[in-house]
């Protein structure tokens, strides 16, 4: 005997019950996520709604990664095994079938829960962000499902965006075979920055740096003291080339009779793995959901400077996070990218972020480096020698390395002044003093002694 179909009224009641149950489950899942960093959570100045990002129009990004570079002192081509050529494919864009739903905290402190997901969509994970004052929900569904189908109903204050992918703007390294000469003479960028003279004033001690990147090799003999602070509930990340390159530029141990010298070896330096290696090259993928969580972890751990050697599209949640971190007094540094274009790239192009382009040892712009609003400061980023996993070293090209150079200079200034805002002002005053013209779009990175002198801590005269 066939079962009678329910009446229209009964079907309506069932659908309403399903929606109510779904909202209840979502509310439990969302409100049960603990907040990171009590200090950030209690500071509600600058919270408010998440405004639409006018710069977030779709843009095709063809991030090139790190270009091969032989570099001085490198082995002959026949004696090395080069990594595969960097990919020239389009930016990976957003993750199919995924969206990020941001639910801003209201004036009463409540998180809105009057939203609905489409059929087949579910909450994969969520966290409360004290930086952007909102619960961020990762919603997943079938790969072909559009964003407006994943989240079918939104509260008035909510924002839904793609879970976009950013890529590290680092060079594909060329393996370096140590020769009879010490490594330090191969680091021309330290000479240009006047690091040796600045050592008598400070080495970064007193500054705290967060690296949002792939995981560095903390077992490397030149990276003693570098820490990894994982994302909540994340599995341990394996050491990667890109994060290890960045860590070495800033924090490599000095005077240990091994390897290279870091620019700010006394700084408190910790890495937050928000990126994962993509194949055999040094170009890593950094998903927006993890990047936002990493920003919160950086704030919760007291970072004064955040290095983001990664690049991708504009996004309103990313902009909100950057603007809030600036309001909270954190210095933000990002790579401009390596496509050779002048169109804006993010987060480097946001006003709250110091965007860094690259130059070579002669001061010439890196031919593949991005220009325009993405690069307001130009720093050494060509034939840069740094650490790679396995107690090894490699030369690399790219704006990623230039961004790490600027981060290290800021760390020296923060270390002696204890004031990130004063350090930033002194840094830009010194840079503009040597710009090609007053108000030039991009200025060269200043020397460490010029910045320190403007903070009342001059380097000793030779």
Return the HEC string of 246-297.
HHHHHHCCCCCCCCCCCCCCCCEEEEEECEEECCCCCCEEEEHHHHHHHHHH
| pLDDT value, residue 174 | 72
Percent of the chain scoring above 90 in pLDDT: 69
Using CA atoms of 71, 373, 320, 101 in order, give the dihedral in degrees to the nearest 10.
-80
310 pLDDT exceeds 80? yes
23 pLDDT exceeds 70? no
CA–CA dist 168, 63 (Å, integer) = 8
- Unique residue bearing structure tokens 């920055």: 193
- Mean pLDDT over all residues of the chain? 83
182 pLDDT exceeds 70? no
User: Which has more pLDDT, 24 or 263?
Assistant: 263
Catalytic residue among 53, 213, 268, 360: 213
User: What digits encode the pLDDT tens for the residues 206-220?
Assistant: 999 999 999 999 999
Mean pLDDT score, 61-76:
35
Mean pLDDT score, 213-237:
96
| pLDDT value, residue 1 | 41
Q: Domain 167-454 belongs to what topology?
A: Rossmann fold (3.40.50)
Q: Are 211 and 246 in contact (CB under 8 A)?
A: yes
Predicted confidence band of residue 75 (pLDDT cuts 50, 70, 90): very low
Measured CA distances, 416 to 42, 50, 191, 201, 427 (Å): 29, 36, 20, 8, 13
Catalytic residue among 69, 129, 309, 400: 400
Minimum mean pLDDT among 70-79, 326-335, 447-456: which range?
70-79
10 pLDDT exceeds 50? no
Q: Are 331 and 414 in contact (CB under 8 A)?
A: yes
459 pLDDT exceeds 60? yes
Could you give the strand order of the β-sheet that contains 443-444, starting from the edge strand earlier in sequence?
227-228, 268-273, 208-213, 305-308, 331-335, 354-359, 377-380, 443-444
pTM exceeds 0.85 for this model: no
| pLDDT value, residue 96 | 94
User: What digits encode the pLDDT tens for the residues 320-372?
Assistant: 999 999 999 999 999 999 999 999 999 999 999 999 999 999 999 999 999 99
| pLDDT value, residue 93 | 84
**In the numeric block, which tokens belong to residue 216?**
């560095």
- Unique residue bearing structure tokens 């690399």: 396
32 pLDDT exceeds 50? no
User: What digits encode the pLDDT tens for the residues 123-180?
Assistant: 999 999 999 999 999 999 999 999 999 999 999 999 999 999 999 986 667 776 654 3
Most confident range (mean pLDDT) of 10-24, 74-88, 90-104 is 90-104
Predicted confidence band of residue 79 (pLDDT cuts 50, 70, 90): very low
| pLDDT value, residue 120 | 96
CA–CA dist 333, 405 (Å, integer) = 10
Q: Is 400 a catalytic residue?
A: yes
42 pLDDT exceeds 70? no
| pLDDT value, residue 173 | 75
- Widest pairwise Cα distance in the chain: 101
Predicted confidence band of residue 92 (pLDDT cuts 50, 70, 90): low
User: Which has more pLDDT, 164 or 280?
Assistant: 164
30 pLDDT exceeds 50? no
Mean pLDDT score, 100-108:
92
Q: Are 333 and 410 in contact (CB under 8 A)?
A: yes
Predicted confidence band of residue 107 (pLDDT cuts 50, 70, 90): confident
Distance in angstroms between the alpha carbons of the first and the last residue of the chain? 101
Catalytic residue among 53, 203, 214, 242: 242
For 398-440, the DSSP string reads: SHHHHHHHHHHHHHHHHHHHS-HHHHHHHHHHHHHHTSSSTT-
Measured CA distances, 248 to 127, 203, 205 (Å): 31, 14, 16
Predicted confidence band of residue 252 (pLDDT cuts 50, 70, 90): very high
Sketch the domain layout of the chain as residue ranges: 16-51+96-163, 167-454
Q: Are 218 and 225 in contact (CB under 8 A)?
A: no
Q: Is 126 a catalytic residue?
A: no
| pLDDT value, residue 177 | 61
Q: Number of H helices and number of E strands within the chain?
A: 11, 20
16 pLDDT exceeds 60? no
Q: Which conformational region is residue 255 in: left (phi greater than 0), alpha (psi within -120 to 50 degrees), or beta? A: left
| pLDDT value, residue 64 | 28
């Amino acid at each position: 005997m066939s079962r009678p179909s329910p009446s229209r009224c009964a079907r309506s009641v069932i659908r309403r019950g399903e929606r109510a149950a779904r909202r209840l489950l979502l509310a439990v899942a969302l409100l049960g996520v603990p907040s990171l960093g009590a200090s950030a959570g209690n500071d509600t100045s600058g919270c408010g709604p998440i405004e639409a990002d006018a710069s977030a129009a779709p843009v095709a990004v063809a991030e090139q990664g790190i270009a091969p570079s032989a570099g001085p002192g490198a082995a002959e081509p026949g004696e090395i095994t080069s990594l595969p050529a960097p990919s020239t494919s389009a930016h990976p864009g957003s993750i199919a079938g995924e969206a990020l739903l941001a639910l801003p905290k209201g004036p009463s402190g409540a998180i809105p829960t009057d939203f609905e997901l489409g059929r087949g969509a579910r909450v994969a994970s969520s966290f409360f962000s004290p930086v952007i004052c909102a619960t961020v929900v990762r919603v997943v569904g079938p790969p072909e499902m559009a964003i407006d189908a994943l989240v079918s109903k939104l509260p008035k204050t909510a924002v839904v965006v793609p879970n976009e992918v950013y890529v590290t703007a680092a060079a594909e390294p060329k393996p370096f075979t140590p020769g009879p000469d010490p490594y330090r003479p191969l680091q021309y960028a330290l000479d240009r920055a006047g690091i040796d003279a600045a050592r008598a004033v400070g080495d970064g001690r007193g500054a705290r740096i967060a690296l949002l990147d792939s995981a560095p090799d903390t077992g490397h003999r030149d990276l003693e003291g570098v820490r990894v602070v994982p994302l909540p509930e994340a599995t341990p990340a394996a050491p990667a080339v890109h994060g290890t390159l960045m860590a070495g530029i800033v924090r490599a141990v000095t005077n240990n009779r091994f390897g290279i010298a870091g620019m700010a070896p006394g700084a408190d330096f910790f890495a937050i793995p928000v990126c994962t290696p993509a194949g055999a090259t040094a170009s890593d993928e950094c998903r927006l959901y993890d990047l936002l969580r990493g920003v919160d972890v950086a704030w919760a751990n007291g970072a004064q400077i955040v290095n983001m050697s990664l690049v991708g599209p504009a996004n309103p949640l990313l902009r909100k996070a950057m603007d809030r971190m600036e309001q909270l007094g954190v210095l933000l540094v990002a790579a401009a990218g390596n496509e050779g274009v002048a169109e804006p790239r993010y987060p480097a192009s946001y006003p709250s972020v110091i965007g860094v382009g690259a130059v070579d040892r002669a001061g010439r712009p890196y031919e593949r480096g991005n220009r325009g609003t993405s690069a307001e400061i130009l720093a050494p980023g060509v034939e840069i020698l740094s650490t790679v996993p396995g107690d090894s070293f490699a030369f690399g090209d790219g704006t990623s390395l230039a961004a790490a150079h600027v981060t290290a200079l800021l760390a020296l200034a923060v270390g002696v002044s204890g004031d990130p805002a004063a350090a930033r002002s002194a840094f830009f005053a010194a840079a503009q003093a040597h710009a090609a013209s007053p108000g030039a779009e991009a200025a060269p990175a200043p020397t460490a002694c010029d910045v320190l002198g403007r903070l009342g801590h001059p380097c000793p005269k030779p």
